[in-house]
C-alpha cells in the first residue's frame, strides 16, 4: 500500500495480531500526514491534546470519537475535562502502532475541527 495515500479517506482494516508494529521510521513517515499528533512511548503510541471552549464541547467531541471508534472497530484511550480532551491511539494486539492508528488520528483531527468550528 502506498504510504502517501490520503489517510482520511481510508477505513481501518482488521488487525488480528501477529503483525509487527510500525518501526519508528515508518511511524515518523505517517506522522507527516497527522499534524499536531506526537509519537509517545518509543513510537508505540500516538497522542494529541485538543482544546475546546467549555465542558459541553469537550464532551461532545469525546462522544463523537467514541462513535467513530465503534464504527471503525478501533478504540482509543481518552481523558477529558473542562475545555480539553487528550486522545491516544495504539493497537493493543501488536503492542504498538499500526496504519489504523494514523487513519484514526486523522479522522479524530477532522472531528475536532468540525466540533471547534461549531459544525
Q: Return the CATH number of 38-119, one of 3.20.20.80, 3.40.718.10, 3.30.70.890, 3.30.1360.20.
A: 3.30.1360.20
Q: Where are the domains of the chain?
A: 38-119
Specify whether the CB–CB gap between 37 and 110 falls below 8 A.
no
pLDDT at 15: 67
pTM of the model: 0.88
In the chain, which residue ranges form alpha helices assigned H by DSSP? 24-31, 55-72, 99-116
User: How confident is the model over 69-87, as pLDDT tens digits?
Assistant: 999 999 999 999 999 999 9
pLDDT at 7: 76
Taking the C-alpha atoms of residue 119 and residue 105, their distance in angstroms, rounded to an integer, is: 19
| DSSP assignments along 42-59, one per residue | TTTEEEEEEE-SSHHHHH
pLDDT at 28: 96
Residue ranges of the chain with per-residue pLDDT less than 70 = 1-5, 14-17, 118-119
Amino acid at each position: 500500500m502506498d504510504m502517501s495515500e490520503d489517510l482520511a479517506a481510508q477505513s481501518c482494516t482488521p488487525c488480528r495480531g501477529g503483525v509487527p508494529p510500525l518501526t519508528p521510521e515508518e511511524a515518523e513517515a505517517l506522522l507527516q500526514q497527522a499534524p499536531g499528533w506526537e509519537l509517545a512511548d518509543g513510537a508505540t503510541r500516538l497522542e494529541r491534546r485538543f482544546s475546546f471552549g467549555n465542558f459541553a464541547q469537550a464532551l461532545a467531541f469525546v462522544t463523537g470519537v467514541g462513535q467513530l471508534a465503534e464504527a471503525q472497530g478501533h478504540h482509543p484511550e481518552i481523558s477529558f475535562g473542562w475545555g480539553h480532551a487528550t486522545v491516544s491511539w495504539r493497537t493493543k494486539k501488536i503492542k504498538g502502532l499500526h496504519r489504523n492508528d494514523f487513519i484514526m488520528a486523522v479522522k479524530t483531527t477532522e472531528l475536532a475541527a468540525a466540533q471547534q468550528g461549531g459544525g
